[in-house]
C-alpha cells in the first residue's frame, strides 16, 4: 500500500501557547487536523469563558487564510472555579471540556487544583452540564516516585471520582501506564483516553540510554517498555475509547536544551505521519482511521468529519528546527526519516 485516504483527523490534546508563538504553532496543526482540543495552561491560565473566547480569536487569527480549523476550547480548573462558570462555558458552545491539573504536576500548573479530592462540586457541575473532565492524572507529592505518580493518582483519586460521578464524561489524558490503560478499559463508556505519539513509539530507554535526550522529555514521563506495550495493545486492538491526542507541547530550544529543561514534545510538525508510522510498523494501517478520526469525535459526541486526508508513502526527514522570533523550536524526533507523509494539497 503506497497511499491511504482517511477521514480528516482531529487532535484531542494540543498546546498552542500564545502571542507570537501562535504564528509557528497553529499552521502545522491547522493544516492537518480539522479540530483540536486546546489546552488552557497559558500564563495566566484560561480560567473563564471570557478568557477562552479571547484566546479562540487569537488562535483563529494565526490560522492560514483558507483554513477551516476549529479550536475546541477548554477551561483550566482552579480552587476558585465556580459551578456557574462551568455551566456558562457549557452553554457557550465554544468550550468542550475542563482541564484538571493537580497543582505542580506539569508546565504552568501552579494555579491548578491543590487537592483533586476536594472539588466534588466541580465534578458535579461538569456532570450536570454534560461537559467532559479532562484529567492530567498524576499526584505531585514529593515522596511519590515520578514513575509511580500516574498509578497513585488512579488509586487515590480517579477510581473514587468514577464511582461518585458515573455519568461524568472523563478523558484520561496522555495515558502512560498499563494501570491507566486497564482503568480506562474497565471504567466503561464514559471514560476515554488520549494517546500521544511519544508514548506509543518510545519508552524510558529512549529518554535516558546513551545520553539524556531532552526532546523526549515530557510529562507524564516515559515509562518502561511493559507500559508502552500495554498502550500499544489498546490502540492496535482498535479499542474505541482510545484516541489521538498529540500533546504537542512546544518550548523554545533554550528551555529544552538546558540544565533544567521544560517538559513537552513539539510533535505537531510530524504528528500524523508519526502515528501512521506506528500503525504501519505493526501492520495495522487499517486501524489508523478509527484512532485518528472517528473514536475521539464519537466520545465527545461531535459529528465525524466529512472530508478526508491522504497519506502517501514517501521518504522525508522531520525538520531540525522551526524558527520563531529570534529563537527556534526543535520538533519531536527531528532528523528522523519517516516513510509516510501527508499528500501535498494539505501542506
Q: What DSSP assignment string belongs to 192-248?
A: EEEE-HHHHH--THHHHTTS--GGG--SSPP--HHHHHHHHHHHHTT-TTEEE---B
C-alpha cell at 146: 515520578
Closest CA to 19 of 327, 332, 228, 312: 327
289 binds, among Zn ion, ligand NCD, none (CB under 5 to 8 A by kind): none
**Which of 7, 47, 106, 203 forms a contact with ligand NCD (CB under 6 A)?**
106
247 binds Zn ion (CB under 5 A): yes
Known catalytic residue: 2? Answer: no
Do 343 and 309 form a contact (C-beta atoms < 8 A)? yes
Q: DSSP letter at 189?
A: T
As to burial, measured by CB atoms within 10 angstroms (0-12 exposed, 13-18 middle, 19+ buried), residue 152 is: middle
CB atoms near residue 249 (< 10 Å): 27
* Calpha distance 152→165 (Å, rounded): 20
Q: Select the binding partner of residue 106 from ligand NCD, Zn ion, none (C-beta < 5 to 8 A, by kind).
A: ligand NCD
Within residues 224-283, the interface with ligand NCD by CB under 6 A covers 247, 249, 263-264
CB of 84 to ligand NCD, least distance (A): 27
Residues 191-220 that bind ligand NCD (CB under 6 A): 218-219
Contact 283/49 with Cβ under 8 angstroms? no
Radius of gyration of the chain (CA): 19
Residue keyed to cell 452540564: 129
* Closer by beta carbon to ligand NCD, 7 or else 216: 216
- Say if CB 273 and CB 342 are below 8 A apart: yes
Among ligand NCD, Zn ion, none, the one that 219 touches (CB under a kind-dependent 5 to 8 A) is ligand NCD
**Which one of Zn ion, ligand NCD, none is in contact with 218 (Cβ closer than 5 to 8 A by kind)?**
ligand NCD
CB closer to ligand NCD, 7 vs 24: 24
- Of 84, 91, 110, 247, the active-site residue reads 247
CB of 319 to ligand NCD, least distance (A): 20
338 has which bridge partners?
A: 316
Q: Determine which residue in the list 29, 31, 41, 232 makes contact with ligand NCD, applying CB under 6 A.
A: 41
Contacts to Zn ion from residues 59-98, by CB under 5 A: none
- Binder to ligand NCD among 15, 35, 256, 277 (CB under 6 A)? 15
Using the minimum distance from each CB to Zn ion, give the nearer residue, 41 or 295.
Answer: 41
The site for ligand NCD (CB under 6 A) is made up of 15, 41, 106-107, 136, 218-219, 247, 249, 263-264
Applying CB under 5 A, the residues found at the interface with Zn ion are 247
Active site residues: 247
Amino acid at each position: 500500500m503506497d497511499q491511504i485516504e482517511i477521514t480528516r483527523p482531529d487532535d484531542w490534546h494540543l498546546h498552542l501557547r500564545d502571542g507570537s508563538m501562535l504564528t509557528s504553532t497553529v499552521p502545522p496543526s491547522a493544516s492537518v487536523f480539522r479540530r483540536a482540543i486546546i489546552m488552557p495552561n497559558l500564563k495566566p491560565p484560561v480560567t473563564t469563558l471570557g478568557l477562552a473566547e479571547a484566546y479562540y480569536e487569537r488562535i483563529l487569527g494565526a490560522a492560514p487564510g483558507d483554513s477551516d480549523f476549529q479550536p475546541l476550547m477548554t477551561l483550566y480548573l482552579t480552587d476558585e472555579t465556580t459551578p456557574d462558570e462551568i455551566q456558562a462555558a457549557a452553554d457557550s458552545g465554544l468550550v468542550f471540556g475542563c482541564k484538571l491539573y493537580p497543582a505542580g504536576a506539569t508546565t504552568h500548573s501552579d494555579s491548578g487544583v491543590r487537592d483533586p479530592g476536594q472539588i466534588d462540586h466541580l465534578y458535579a457541575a461538569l456532570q450536570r452540564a454534560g461537559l467532559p473532565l479532562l484529567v492530567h492524572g498524576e499526584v505531585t507529592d514529593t515522596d511519590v516516585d515520578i514513575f509511580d505518580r500516574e498509578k497513585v493518582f488512579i488509586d487515590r483519586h480517579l477510581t473514587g471520582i468514577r464511582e461518585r460521578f458515573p455519568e461524568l464524561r472523563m478523558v484520561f489524558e496522555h495515558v502512560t501506564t498499563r494501570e491507566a490503560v486497564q482503568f480506562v478499559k474497565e471504567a466503561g463508556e464514559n471514560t476515554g483516553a488520549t494517546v500521544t505519539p511519544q508514548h506509543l513509539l518510545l519508552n524510558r530507554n529512549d529518554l535516558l540510554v546513551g545520553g539524556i535526550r531532552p526532546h523526549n522529555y515530557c510529562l507524564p514521563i516515559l515509562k518502561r517498555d511493559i507500559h508502552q506495550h500495554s498502550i500499544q495493545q489498546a490502540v492496535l486492538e482498535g479499542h474505541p475509547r482510545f484516541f489521538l491526542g498529540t500533546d504537542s507541547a512546544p518550548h523554545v530550544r533554550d528551555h529544552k536544551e538546558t540544565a533544567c529543561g521544560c517538559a513537552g514534545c513539539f510533535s505537531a510538525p510530524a504528528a500524523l505521519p508519526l502515528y501512521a508510522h506506528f500503525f504501519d510498523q505493526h501492520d495495522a494501517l487499517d486501524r489508523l482511521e478509527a484512532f485518528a478520526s472517528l473514536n475521539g469525535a464519537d466520545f465527545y459526541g461531535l459529528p465525524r468529519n466529512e472530508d478526508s486526508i491522504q497519506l502517501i508513502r514517501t521518504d522525508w526527514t522531520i525538520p531540525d528546527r522551526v524558527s520563531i522570533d529570534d529563537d527556534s523550536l526543535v520538533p519531536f524526533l527531528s532528523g528522523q526519516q519517516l516513510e509516510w507523509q501527508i499528500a501535498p494539497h494539505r501542506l
